[in-house]
Amino acid sequence: MKEYTHPDLSDVTLSAAMQTLADPARVAILRAVIASDTGEIACNEIPLQLSKATVSHHFESLREAGLIQTRVVGTKCLSSLRREEFEARFPGLLDLVLGEKTGA
């Protein structure tokens, strides 16, 4: 549908990353990505009671924070974690967030 741009991790500030990860909805999205069979997930497969506009915005936030990358496949766009890159930039942060009990 459109071309997505993915920032270089060196351009992502810790504050920005923290802010992005501070929202439970976005963490839920990350969990859903990980829980998927393929490691990729489409916007409409997210288990959240949010409008698709809102979900789209959250995906954009995650993209800008260097947490996910998105590719277009037909009419859908599949997002996956940029785990290694993010880990290299902010060691331990992602595991800390994902390891937490849901809802925390």
Partner DNA sequence: TCGAATGTTTGATTTTTGTCGAACAATCTG
Partner DNA sequence: CAGATTGTTCGACAAAAATCAAACATTCGA
Residues in the chain: 104
The answer to whether 102 contacts DNA (rule: CB under 7 A) is no
Contact 39, 80 (CB under 8 A): yes
The answer to whether 100 contacts DNA (rule: CB under 7 A) is no
- Rounded (5°) CA angle 40-49-41: 5
Q: Name residues contacting DNA, limited to 1-60 (CB under 7 A).
A: 1-2, 4, 19, 22-23, 25, 42-45, 49-60
Partner that binds at residue 58, options a second copy, DNA, none, CB closer than 5 to 8 Å by kind: DNA
Partner that binds at residue 14, options DNA, a second copy, none, CB closer than 5 to 8 Å by kind: a second copy
Q: How many CB atoms lie within 10 A of CB 96?
A: 10
